[in-house]
Amino acid sequence: MKAIISLEDGRSFNCRSFTGPGEAWGEVVFNTSMTGYQEVLTDPSYSGQMVTMTYPLIGNYGINPEDIESDRIQVSAFLVKEYQDFPSNFRSTSTLADYLKAQGILGIEQFDTRALTRHIRKVGAMRAFITTHDIDSASCIKRAREIPGMAGQDLVKEVTTKRPYYWAQEKPVYIGKNVPLSKNIWKYRGSKNSVVAFDFGIKYNILRCLEYAGFEILVVPATTSAETIKLIEPDGLFLSNGPGDPEPVSYAIKTIKDLLSYRPIFGICLGHQLLALALGGKTFKLKFGHRGSNQPVKNLLTGKVEITSQNHGFAVDIDSLNGKNIKITHKNLNDNTLEGFRHRELPIFAVQYHPEASPGPHDSRYLFNDFVHVPNG
């Protein structure tokens, strides 16, 4: 089925939908991973975005229920060079097209993804509109320009859990609506380290890694207050990944600020940015972001280079942390942006990349072990 992709700067691409009729809109970005399209689709950090895969053949190993990162597809559209409708993998239970269609997500193929990627690299990530209905570039460009930009939007509220839940044996177990949150909420108190994970758009594999590290995990909504956290009395606090601009998530920044000296804190991705803002730092929007599983990061503490998976469009201004009692621990070797820091006195640390995603494959797993053994105040 014929379709068109129109960008806010006036450029359009003729293409084809492999999921039937529909429309989609959002910020169009690209991901350089060769595999992992199912994880990309279900990563809440992609909320509000249409993702272009730079690897040309997508769909060849199908879809399976084990590799999802959340309870639904999070991207607003999925753009590929060539869709493969006949998957070959012993774990596959459905095709990519059927998976997308079941959740009403538009899948697009048969256009020059390399040209789109090069354009985004040159001009920057931008708003785009896709349709199979009215193949008219002028009207579609107008629609693209009417889409709200990512900066200034609080997208966390769109993806955070509505109810607290335990993560146990690789699945969520929701707490009863009338069960009060207090220190009595823990089932294994004393035999396991307990951690409250703030859900800003958390990925399931992060929770799996925390569970494998030996934590008892309680996941709470992003709006949970510092007062409630202190009633729960966890051993540590985890700040998750999530979508969009960190600055509008002011309620979380305030809560983190109130908890800085309360318990050890570990942040990943958006959690890294929110923690930096709570410590007095600043963030900025990257031109086209870091999205892929081949980002080189240097650990300044060990001198080693880690191959990392990343997905973010904003970053922490490294200079804004000067004079904040912060030690810089990791830098991106492509553009020297900040990838990790630790507080010099408080048991607080964070990284911008995703240590749970295993592109190295285990270059960054030590961070979860560090969280287990970080001194408590």
Per-residue H/E/C for 317-343: CHHHHCCCCEEEEEEECCCCCEEEEEE
Taking Cα atoms as reference points, which of 214, 261, 212, 220 lies closest to residue 240?
A: 220
Other CB atoms within 10 A of residue 126 CB: 20
- β-strand 2-7 against 126-131: which pairing, if any? antiparallel
DSSP assignment letter at 180: P
Q: Is 60 exposed, middle or buried (0-12, 13-18, 19+ CB in 10 A)?
A: middle
Q: Is 334 exposed, middle or buried (0-12, 13-18, 19+ CB in 10 A)?
A: exposed
Q: Which tokens is 372 given?
A: 């287990």
Tell me if residue 354 is catalytic. yes
Whether the CB-CB separation of 370 and 349 falls below 8 Å is answered with: yes
> Cα–Cα distances in Å, from 72 out to 40, 41, 161?
11, 8, 12
Taking Cα atoms as reference points, which of 44, 69, 41 lies closest to residue 53?
A: 41
Tell me if residue 269 is catalytic. yes
Tell me if residue 209 is catalytic. no
Of 119, 272, 330, 354, which is the active-site residue? 354
Of 269, 312, 330, 343, which is the active-site residue? 269
* Amino acid in position 279: L
Taking Cα atoms as reference points, which of 233, 268, 274, 237 lies closest to residue 252?
A: 274
Taking Cα atoms as reference points, which of 183, 322, 243, 36 lies closest to residue 252?
A: 243
* Amino acid in position 291: R
Q: Phi and psi (nearest 5°) for 368? A: -70, -35
C-alpha dihedral sign at 79, 84, 88, 92:
positive
Taking Cα atoms as reference points, which of 143, 142, 56, 63 lies closest to residue 98?
A: 63
Query: CA-based angle 340:336:27, to the nearest 5?
Result: 85
Q: Which residues are catalytic?
A: 269, 354, 356
